Homo-oligomer: A and B are copies of this chain.
Amino acid sequence: MNVGILGGGQLGYMLALAGYPLGLQFRFLDPSPEAPVGRIALRVNADFTNAEALERFANGLDLVTYEFENVPVASVKALAQRLPVFPPPLALETAQDRLSEKSLFRKLGIVTAEFVAVKGTDELAGAVKKLGLPAILKTCRMGYDGKGQWLLRTGEDVARARSQMPEALPAGSGAATASEPPYVLERLVAFSRELSILAVRSRTGEIVFYPPVENHHREGILRLSLAPAPQLNAKTQAAAEDIARQVLEALDYVGVLAIELFECDGTLLANEMAPRVHNSGHWTIEGAITSQFENHLRAVCGFPLGSTVAIGHSAMLNLIGDVPNPAEVLCIPDAHLHLYGKSPRPGRKLGHVTLHASSNKLLAERLADLPAFFQRPIFCLDAALKACSDSATASAL
């Protein structure tokens, strides 16, 4: 089966590595000549809006999927007229706009932080007055890894955001018109932790869920995930699955869907979704019976889905900005290294390491040993260590 993938970054690269053993062939479309998939698969190197390149890309494919949610919807819809495209273009369109996404959550009765649309600088003061502070102002489009966001705690923060707002309007977001509010203001939620759930829906409507994961961010970038999320009770897990199921069914979704959640006083608020495989699911390569990459491909190709059961406990650490010498990681007991073949750049995700252990107690020991191996700061390590240790203590009681 010939699978076309829009986007050739690390997610596409890991999709290909998971898909070859299933007998799949891949062709990627990516504008960057340095895209990680270049060395392992056929690739059309062109802009996503290049009609001739889209034609070359689509020729002979059995289906198309994507690994990047900022692919222009018009290109995806054009492809969908001649080929099956999964997840469906509607999912992409919804996820590309924070307001559409939050409106979908609201329509489905899924709790979110309170929010207000902000069409421009003129509406900011009114929105702040309505929601109160602290709040977060976010661009509706093209924001990722904390970019395009302003945390507003004081009047000065509001004034600064107001002065930066015009520049923040992303270049090339041609889809935004005067009628589309380019910002959304959200009430800041005092959550106890961030979780995510990855769900998979097949072409026949079968749905499976990975266990929810606890995520630790810094500077808006995911640094470390613990999987399954320590000390997650059955009620919260069921609530997370319920949220994901509603979204999957509302969008007639096919593939892996990630939903980021805030846990607040035992309830879950939906933050955002990604219509693709997700960084918080990288642990599944070693930590689950079937990886998110394999399950995404099984789903979009019409194969039966694989088991999402976790094997033991995993901690996934992103390698950001620079990469260690492989030997530095490979001497860590039960550490698995994944480098993406990208050139180093500050803030860039270049790889990840998954620590794997049979219990949270052992995982806490593995995490505690990490600084002895790594010659670089490990963000969020203390918080992760505490979560694993607390969980180990609770299960021992």
Q: How far is the CB of A350 from chain B (nearest CB, A)?
A: 10
A39 pairs with B25, CB closer than 8 A? yes
A134 to B118, CA, bound (A): 88
Q: Would A326 and B22 be within 8 Å (CB), given that A289-B334, A333-B307 are in contact? A: yes
A341's partner among B13, B23, B336, B337 (CB-CB below 8 A) is: B23
A303 pairs with B289, CB closer than 8 A? no
Q: How far is the CB of A14 from chain B (nearest CB, A)?
A: 8
Binary CB contact string for chain A from 277 to 316 against chain B (1 if under 8 A, 0 otherwise) = 0000000000001000000001001111011000100000
- Chain B residues with CB under 8 Å of A307's CB are 333-334
Q: How large is the interface on A (under 10, 10 to 19, 20 to 34, 35 or more residues)?
A: 20 to 34
Is A131 part of the binding interface, using a Cβ–Cβ cutoff of 8 Å? Answer: no
A330's partner among B289, B304, B323 (CB-CB below 8 A) is: B304
Is A338 part of the binding interface, using a Cβ–Cβ cutoff of 8 Å? Answer: yes
A195 to B262, CA, bound (A): 52
A327 pairs with B339, CB closer than 8 A? no
Q: How far is the CB of A371 from chain B (nearest CB, A)?
A: 18
A326's partner among B23, B326, B351 (CB-CB below 8 A) is: B23
Q: How far is the CB of A321 from chain B (nearest CB, A)?
A: 16
Q: How far is the CB of A334 from chain B (nearest CB, A)?
A: 6
Is A20 part of the binding interface, using a Cβ–Cβ cutoff of 8 Å? Answer: yes
Is A394 part of the binding interface, using a Cβ–Cβ cutoff of 8 Å? Answer: no
Is A178 part of the binding interface, using a Cβ–Cβ cutoff of 8 Å? Answer: no
A339's partner among B21, B41, B330 (CB-CB below 8 A) is: B21
Binary CB contact string for chain A from 5 to 45 against chain B (1 if under 8 A, 0 otherwise) = 00000000100010011110100000000000001110000
A22 pairs with B303, CB closer than 8 A? no
A39 to B2, CA, bound (A): 13
Is A356 part of the binding interface, using a Cβ–Cβ cutoff of 8 Å? Answer: yes
Is A175 part of the binding interface, using a Cβ–Cβ cutoff of 8 Å? Answer: no
A301 to B333, CA, bound (A): 18
Near B by CB (< 8 A), chain A positions 329-382 give: 330-331, 333-334, 336-339, 341, 351, 356
A327's partner among B39, B302, B338 (CB-CB below 8 A) is: B302
Q: Which residue of B lies closest to A352 (CB)?
A: B21
Q: Which residue of B lies closest to A327 (CB)?
A: B303
Q: How far is the CB of A86 from chain B (nearest CB, A)?
A: 16
A23 pairs with B323, CB closer than 8 A? yes
A17's partner among B20, B304, B337 (CB-CB below 8 A) is: B20
Q: How far is the CB of A348 from chain B (nearest CB, A)?
A: 15
B40 pairs with A337, CB closer than 8 A? no
A298 to B329, CA, bound (A): 12
Which of A20, A331, A336, A351 has the most chain B CB within a 10 Å cutoff?
A20
- Chain B residues with CB under 8 Å of A341's CB are 20, 23
Q: Which residue of B lies closest to A24 (CB)?
A: B326
A339 to B336, CA, bound (A): 23
A20 to B338, CA, bound (A): 8
- Chain B residues with CB under 8 Å of A331's CB are 304
Q: Would A326 and B338 be within 8 Å (CB), given that A20-B17, A21-B17, A39-B25 are in contact? A: no
A356 to B334, CA, bound (A): 20
A-B contact pairs, 11 of them (CB 8 A): A13-B20, A17-B17, A20-B339, A21-B337, A22-B337, A22-B339, A23-B341, A289-B334, A289-B356, A304-B327, A311-B311
